[in-house]
Structure 1
Amino acid sequence: MFDIKGKVAVVVGASSGLGADAARAYGKNGAKVALLARREEKLADVARKLQEAGVDTFIHKCDVTDETSVKTAITAVHDHFGRIDILLNNAGVAVRGGVHQLSEADWDKSMDTNVKGIFLASKYAVPYMMAQNYGKIINIASINAVIADKQDVFIRHSYNASKAAVLGLTKGMAASYGRYNITVNAIGPGLFESEMTENTLFKSEDFLNSYNYQNPLGRPGKRGELNGTILYFSSDMSSYVSGQFIVVDGGMSIV
């Protein structure tokens, strides 16, 4: 039931980090993979490695904050593969600062990428899923959708707000599209090393020591440790699971 062989998986935000890891996991498990992101050179690098491993791969430039760009990319994927079975909405940004520090542009950047991006990708993928009466949508939220942090290095109020909005959108979509055999779920990663965190949080020894002390597993997440949950939500093993939020954080959100 974990089998996704032959399915078409679209990874939005696939050029690096957790998105690239997920694309490799999809390919390793037999899916055809479409990679979408703004940075074409990085997409090409990810695609080349997938193709060398024998994965049927398609890439298209996509700016998730621009509706025309998203519509063009999703349409191109469907034209290429003939269907879209899985949509992983992974594109995201984390803008640091409290509300007294954030500019309006900072706020809009968080909302446009983290929330509007999911809305737009889903807007154009969902009709294809409805027509085929099948679809799996996985939205990458964050544990910061449900918890916050008072340490200066981790204060990101626009990130908290945008990721909480992802949960509301996930529930609304799940309730509406279940009749079309489309499940919609969200994942909340804890701290993973990625392009978003490696030059900020992972460079603060004090923060890492504090995080590791508080985390029940005593460490951040490792590369690939999000993939099991992604594959679960992407496969028919989760056929009766929709509108749910699973945190993958080593237990950080329970302490």
Structure 2
Amino acid sequence: MTRTIQQLFDLEGKVALVTGGSRGLGLQLAHALGEAGARIMLSARKEGELEEAVADLQAAGIDARWVAADCAKEEEIRKLSDQTFERMGNVDILVNNAGAAWGAPAEDHPVEAWDKVMNLNVRGYFLLAQQVAKRGMIPRKSGRIINVASIAGLGGNPADMNTLAYNTSKGAVITFTQALACEWGKYGINVNAICPGFFPSKMTKGTLERIGVDKLAENAPLRRLGDDEDLKGTALLFASDAGKHITGQWLAVDGGVSVVTGG
């Protein structure tokens, strides 16, 4: 019997692991999945921020808990995987969201900063996806992986935005998503990417202050930046059975900026 739309989007009984989930886009994604019925495991580096985020989710009636981990470090990723499976029993949905950026002209970009961005934004995504898939998704032949990329991964920037490593890392995330979807489709694992545009966050605070919210909004056909609701629908589509025939895809949630720039 064909399911209703409410049944297709229902995540009751599912477990979602969200990295970089203590604030900003990660917390918005956790809310989306939790509001649809999933139990949430949040991860980030700072315990205090995680405690506040989990309290916020629990106040909304969401079953949530946390593990502090630095997803740029392999041993921390293993700890995160161990504790999540021990405490939650399984991971049905992985949201790779933890990320870092660095601003510097390409000719002066520190190698250490390049490595920091790549280790978290690309290597960390790979290692955690590998851990979660081998321990749960592959044996169960079921799973959803959502990688948070960026419209910065679709091309270059205006001349006054020097984020070469960040752009490169997010381009790599898009290709990683496509290649992983091809390999793991046989296991019933869907792998997709969300490419946000400008959203107010700690990472974008400097750019917003330097260029201005109104100026950045002018570049979008919708004349606005993203808000605290704008990623929820895409996340739920990719995480639920409503998107069960979608894999290897990326979707820009950017007010139309990537259409203007040709991304």
TM-score, reference length from structure 1: 0.95
Q: Distance in 1 between matches of 2:29 and 2:23?
A: 10
CA shift for structure 1 position 231: 0.8
One-letter identity of the residue aligned with 2:253: V
Q: Distance in 1 between matches of 2:28 and 2:78?
A: 24
Task: Confirm whether residue 148 of structure 1 aligns to residue 153 of structure 2.
Answer: no
Match of 1:84 in 2: 91
Task: Confirm whether residue 232 of structure 1 aligns to residue 237 of structure 2.
Answer: yes
CA shift for structure 1 position 168: 1.4
SS in structure 2 at match of 1:10: strand
Match of 1:75 in 2: 82
Q: Distance in 1 between matches of 2:61 and 2:218?
A: 42
Aligned-pair Cα RMSD in Å: 1.2
CA shift for structure 1 position 207: 4.5
CA shift for structure 1 position 51: 2.2
Residue ranges of structure 2 left out of the alignment (5+ in a row): 1-7
Q: Residues 102-251 of structure 1 correspond to what in structure 2 (within 5 A)?
A: 102-127=109-134, 128-152=136-160, 154-198=161-205, 200-204=206-210, 206-251=211-256
SS in structure 2 at match of 1:100: helix
CA shift for structure 1 position 58: 2.1
Match of 2:29 in 1: 22
1:151–1:60: structure 2 CA closer, same or farther, 3 Å change rule?
Answer: same
TM-score, reference length from structure 2: 0.92
Report if aligned partners of 2:106, 2:162 keep a CA contact under 8 Å in 1.
Answer: no
Cα shift readout 1:20-78 (whole Å, capped 9, x = no counterpart): 11112222111100001111110011111222333222211111111111111112111
Report if aligned partners of 1:10, 1:87 keep a CA contact under 8 Å in 2.
Answer: yes
Q: Distance in 1 between matches of 2:11 and 2:18?
A: 14
CA shift for structure 1 position 79: 1.2
Q: Distance in 1 between matches of 2:220 and 2:61?
A: 38
Q: Distance in 2 between matches of 1:50 and 1:149?
A: 35
CA shift for structure 1 position 225: 0.5
CA shift for structure 1 position 222: 1.1
Report if aligned partners of 1:92, 1:113 keep a CA contact under 8 Å in 2.
Answer: yes
Q: Distance in 1 between matches of 2:44 and 2:190?
A: 23
Residue ranges of structure 1 left out of the alignment (5+ in a row): none
Aligned sequence identity (%): 38
Q: Distance in 2 between matches of 1:228 and 1:245?
A: 14
Q: Distance in 1 between matches of 2:150 and 2:188?
A: 26
Report if aligned partners of 2:18, 2:30 keep a CA contact under 8 Å in 1.
Answer: yes
Q: Distance in 2 between matches of 1:160 and 1:187?
A: 14
Report if aligned partners of 1:2, 1:236 keep a CA contact under 8 Å in 2.
Answer: yes
One-letter identity of the residue aligned with 1:36: S
Task: Confirm whether residue 40 of structure 1 aligns to residue 47 of structure 2.
Answer: yes
SS in structure 1 at match of 2:116: helix
Q: Distance in 1 between matches of 2:90 and 2:213?
A: 43
